[in-house]
A = this chain, B = another copy of it.
């Protein structure tokens, strides 16, 4: 039996582009849906063309054109959907119901991986509003898949490292400060961090694996199950400097969500951070029989540790010698940080830029 043919939907997105590359790298014949929504976004068009140059097939198709979806699905064995479910980007999870219909009609798909890649919506208890919408929508899609008898795997990828590690677990930050950090509660709840490239690698690893058929694959790389304080500590060790720590209580965090100028999309994101950092929702359950753990199934994957991931931020002028200033002194705005931070140089110019070899 040869390797499955794979269709990636949402292939120009943050995770999707990695899935396309991982699929090609692991030797799968790879198809990428070219949706009209890409329009005249030349960066995305260039990305599609680059995939073609790497050997992928581009397939035109649209969620508004059922026939096109059916035809695209018929070309492959495995369908992976990576359309965004994150409100700060775009939240289109329920669009997948159209894809479920197409897969049912096509009738040939051996495995469908819907857009999940986060917290397991079936295992989270008492999700905070309004963020609960994300899990509710994902469950609607799951029910349609299972009712339709479509073979599936759900990927629970936990925290994207680019966001959570880069930001030292602070919402609205994706670069680690050298000065201060907001600690959520006691900072000791464990979360799980996975490098985005590893999410893609594990995902492609599993598509032909009978052990994960109709199951959830949890990505829990053992070295990356860490509390916020542990992440911060690794960073401090790397830069040789202690950060100033500001403790933010659960009550204050929740109150900051309800301030008038906080937009809905931000509230959704804050709910998720709340559940991860104050409730420990990613680590407060055992996987059990309905799931499998990725690093156990695929020990050959040399996953990126949080420690190694942090190294890419070190020795950079992004952080070195730079003082973080905030537009707004109020804590809830610090957390949201919808406006970019202002950098100011606190050292002489000649020392400000350092290369990675330094």
Interface residues in chain A, defined as those with a beta carbon under 8 Å from any beta carbon in chain B: 14, 31, 34, 36-40, 42-43, 45-46, 48-49, 52-53, 55-62, 64-65, 67-68, 70-72, 74-75, 162-163, 166, 172-175, 312-313, 316-318, 322, 337, 339-345, 348-350, 352-356
Residue of B nearest to A54 (CB): B356
A197 CB, min distance to chain B CBs, angstroms: 11
Contact of A65 among B40, B72, B344, B356 (CB under 8 A): B344
Is the beta-carbon distance between B40 and A174 smaller than 8 angstroms? yes
Is the beta-carbon distance between A342 and B14 smaller than 8 angstroms? no
Cα distance A343–B36 when bound, in Å? 7
Contact of A349 among B49, B64, B75 (CB under 8 A): B75
Is the beta-carbon distance between B340 and A58 smaller than 8 angstroms? no
A43 CB, min distance to chain B CBs, angstroms: 7
Is the beta-carbon distance between B353 and A40 smaller than 8 angstroms? no
Contact of A58 among B37, B74, B163, B318 (CB under 8 A): B318
- A354 cross-chain contacts in B, Cβ below 8 A: 57
Is the beta-carbon distance between B340 and A57 smaller than 8 angstroms? no
A-B pairs with beta carbons under 8 Å apart, 10 shown: A14-B42, A39-B340, A42-B163, A45-B166, A52-B312, A53-B356, A57-B317, A59-B317, A59-B353, A71-B345
Residue of B nearest to A358 (CB): B57
- A72 cross-chain contacts in B, Cβ below 8 A: 349, 352
A98 CB, min distance to chain B CBs, angstroms: 15
Q: Are A37 and B340 CB-contacts (below 8 A) given A58-B317, A318-B58, A318-B60?
A: yes
- A42 cross-chain contacts in B, Cβ below 8 A: 14, 162-163, 166, 174
Is the beta-carbon distance between B352 and A71 smaller than 8 angstroms? yes
- A38 cross-chain contacts in B, Cβ below 8 A: 340
- A57 cross-chain contacts in B, Cβ below 8 A: 317, 353-355
Cα distance A322–B37 when bound, in Å? 16
Cα distance A56–B337 when bound, in Å? 28
Contact of A316 among B37, B52, B162 (CB under 8 A): B52
A10 CB, min distance to chain B CBs, angstroms: 14
- A34 cross-chain contacts in B, Cβ below 8 A: 317-318, 343
Is the beta-carbon distance between B75 and A342 smaller than 8 angstroms? no
A325 CB, min distance to chain B CBs, angstroms: 9
- A70 cross-chain contacts in B, Cβ below 8 A: 349
Q: Are A74 and B349 CB-contacts (below 8 A) given A318-B60, A354-B57?
A: yes
Cα distance A71–B347 when bound, in Å? 10
**What 17 new A-B contacts, CB under 8 Å, besides A36-B340, A68-B343?**
A36-B341, A39-B341, A40-B172, A40-B173, A49-B316, A53-B356, A58-B318, A60-B343, A62-B342, A62-B343, A64-B342, A65-B344, A70-B349, A74-B349, A74-B350, A75-B352, A75-B353
Cα distance A343–B173 when bound, in Å? 38
